[in-house]
Amino acid sequence: MRQAQTRHRGILRTLVVVAAVLIGVTRAVAGPLSVETLAETFEPCELLHLTRRGYPGWRGAEARPEVVTRRSLQALADHAATLSPSLSERGSFPLQQGAASSIQAAQVYRRLAVLLDDAGLAFNEGYGFNDVEAMAEAAHDRLRAARGIHACVTFKWANKRPDMFMQPLFEVDFQRIAALFSPAAFERQRDWPRDPDLTAREAFELRATRLATFYFELLFDVVGKDKGDFFGKLHKRFTATTVCTDEATISQGFLADILIAEGLLTKFELIRPSRYAHRRPPMGIPFAEALSPINDIGQLTDHFAPILVRKGDGLLLVVDSWVEDGGLPSHIARLGPWSDQRENENVVSLTARRDHVVDRLMDRVVLEPDGSKLRVRRATAAFDEVQEYLLASHFGGHRPASLPDPRSVSLDQVDGRWVGVMRFGRY
C-alpha cells in the first residue's frame, strides 16, 4: 500500500512538472506583446481602439489607463460595452462620441486581455498605454498598407444611447470619390444647372458631395440598406435601420474626415461650433405645445442633419441623406426652406438637365397616378433607374462591393435581431 502511494505521488509530481513545462512553452511561444502579435490578432480598424483615434479618444482620459493590464482591460471592456445614459439635450447631438459606448472596442479589449494572459502576465502586470498605442499604430499602418485601406470610417447607431464602430474605406473606393472633384469633372459640369447664388465651382463641389454620399452608402450596408425617413423606421425590421441622428453623425464624419480633411471640399466647411440643422413639422395635435415640457411627443417628428457653411459669406446649407432610402444621393438645400418645409429643395442638379428623370425623381416632382408625389423606394423601378444612371454617368458603370452590416448576421432577417457575442449588438 505504501509503495502504491509513493508511486502515485511520483506520477502526480511528474504530471505537475509536465504541465508546468507545457504552460511555460505556451507562454514562451506567445512571447511579449509586439507589433507582429497585434497585426496577427486584430483587423486594421479594430487596432485604433488601442489608440486615441478610437474609443480612448472618444471617451477621453477615463478610457486611457496608464498601464494596460488584464485588470484594466477587463474594466475598460465593461465600460465600453455599457449603454451610456440617455441624452436629455436634443441640441447636443453633433458627433456625440463622448457619450458613446463601443461594443467593437469592448471585444478588442477582451481579446487583448487573452493575449496578455497567454504571455504569462499577472492580472495587474502589463504595458504602458503609450507603448501599446505605438505598437497598435504601427500594426494598423502595416495592415492598412497591405490591404489597400485608405482610412477607417466611424459609424454611430442607437440614437439617444449611441454606440460607435469603425469600418474600412478602401483606397480604390476613395480614388473613385476623389475623381468626382477632379479638374476634368469640373470642366464637364461647368455649365450644369445650379442655384443662381452659387458660382460654377461651388455648385460643382456640392454636386460632387451629393454623388460622393451616394457612392459612400453603396460601400456599407449599415447605411446602404437603410429605410429612409420617419416612416421607414416603422418597418418590421426596425432595429436594422438608422435614425436621423445616427445618419447625421455618420454624414458629418464623412464630410469632416474624408471630403474636407482630404482637401476635396474647398469652398465649404462644417458649421462651428458644431451643431445640426433641426426641424419639427407641426404635429396638429391639440395641447402638444403645452404638454411638451412633460412629455415631448413632438420629438417623434424631430429631424437633424449636418450643416455646411460657404466660406466668405456664411451661406448655410443642409446635407440630408436620411430622408431617402439607403443607396441614393443626399439632398443639399438652403437651411431656411429645409427648416420650414418637409421638402428638400436641392440647390444643384445631379444631371446636365433639370428636367432629366433622375433629377425629377430625386426632387420629388414626379407624380403617382393618384396625384401624390412619387417617392424613390428600394426594390422599385425608379430606385434602380436612379442608381444605374448615376453609376454609369459618374463611376464608369462600376458598382462597388458592399461591406455587411456588422451589427447583425443579416439585414434581411425577418426578426432583425442583433445576435452573437462576436457580432455587434445587445446580447
Calculate the average pLDDT of the chain.
80
β-strands 268-270, 307-310: how paired? antiparallel
64-79: average pLDDT:
92
360-385: average pLDDT:
88
For residue 281, the model assigns a pLDDT of 63
The pLDDT of residue 300 is above 70: no
d(CA 162, CA 424): 13
Share of the chain above pLDDT 70, in %: 74
295-302: average pLDDT:
54
Lowest-pLDDT range of 49-58, 214-223, 291-300: 291-300
Tell which wins on pLDDT, 194 or 112: 112
258-264: average pLDDT:
96
| Angle subtended by helix axes 381-394 and 200-219, to nearest 10 | 120
The pLDDT of residue 107 is above 60: yes
Lowest-pLDDT range of 150-154, 203-207, 251-255, 339-343: 339-343
Domain ranges of the chain: 10-147, 171-394
Share of the chain above pLDDT 90, in %: 50
Grid cell locating 175:
480614388
345-350: average pLDDT:
92
Cβ-contact 159, 243 below 8 angstroms: yes
What's CA 87's distance to the chain center, in Å? 19
For residue 30, the model assigns a pLDDT of 46
Cβ-contact 50, 108 below 8 angstroms: yes
DSSP H or E run through 332: strand 331-334
116-131: average pLDDT:
92
Please choose, from the candidates 352, 348, 376, 349, the residue with its C-alpha nearest in 3D space to the C-alpha of residue 364.
376
248-254: average pLDDT:
90
pLDDT tier at 39, thresholds 50, 70, 90: very high
The pLDDT of residue 1 is above 80: no
Cβ-contact 13, 101 below 8 angstroms: no
The pLDDT of residue 65 is above 70: yes
For residue 275, the model assigns a pLDDT of 83
